[in-house]
Amino acid sequence: MEKVIFIGAGDHCKNILSFFRFNKNFNIYGITDPNSKVDQIFNIPILGSDELLESLYKEKKVKYAFVTVGGTGDNKLRAILFEKAKKIGFDFINIYHPNSIVSQDLKVGVGNLFMAGSIINSNVSIGDNNIINTGAIIEHDVRIGNHTHIAPGVTLGGGVEVGDLSHIGIGATVIQGVKIGTNSIVGAGAVVLKDVADNSVVVGVPAKLLKLKD
């Protein structure tokens, strides 16, 4: 089996390990996290800080990585960790929960997570390092960039576009054809009826601008 290192030891990591530790193609070598207060999760060891990544790649011959840091609105840390591991030379896997439903014509990058009950319909394009969380529905012809989080219960209508680093909150609905800009947040339960500009936070039904991000 190939060895993979997980980057981040929080609750999001625990969710992934709850099913991925049974994967027959990859052996989880360990987890890096500079702030972990435990020494293992599901018997997978916490090895230490992210500064170990280079030695794990060069000396321990761990060739695959996966960012297991979650996101509650700010995906920049996930992006930084992904790019750091990529620069070292790691390849990235995609992780599919066995109960996710993914169209065979999905165009997908690397480092993506598809959690239980997520549905990806036809002609969808997804970049790198995205979280498609529990029960999210991604309809036909959707375009998702890099380092985004599509939270549990989200529905993206046909032809929606989501820019890099954006976060679509729990239970939000984005109607067909709407464009969500880069580094934006759609609040939990919002219903988005029109385009959202870059660096915007929108909330409510229908969704309205709450503020611009710094």
73 is in an annotated binding site: yes
89 is in an annotated binding site: no
149 is in an annotated binding site: yes
Sheet holding 208-212, edge to edge: 95-96, 113-114, 131-132, 149-150, 167-168, 185-186, 200-203, 208-212
Residues with active-site annotation: 140
Nearest to 11 by CA among 69, 50, 65: 69
Q: Give the angle subtended at the CA of 106 by the CAs of 104 and 108, to the nearest 5°.
A: 135
Sheet holding 64-67, edge to edge: 40-41, 44-48, 26-32, 2-7, 64-67, 91-92
Binding annotation for substrate? 73
Name the binding residues for acetyl-CoA.
149, 170
Residue list, annotated binding site: 73, 149, 170
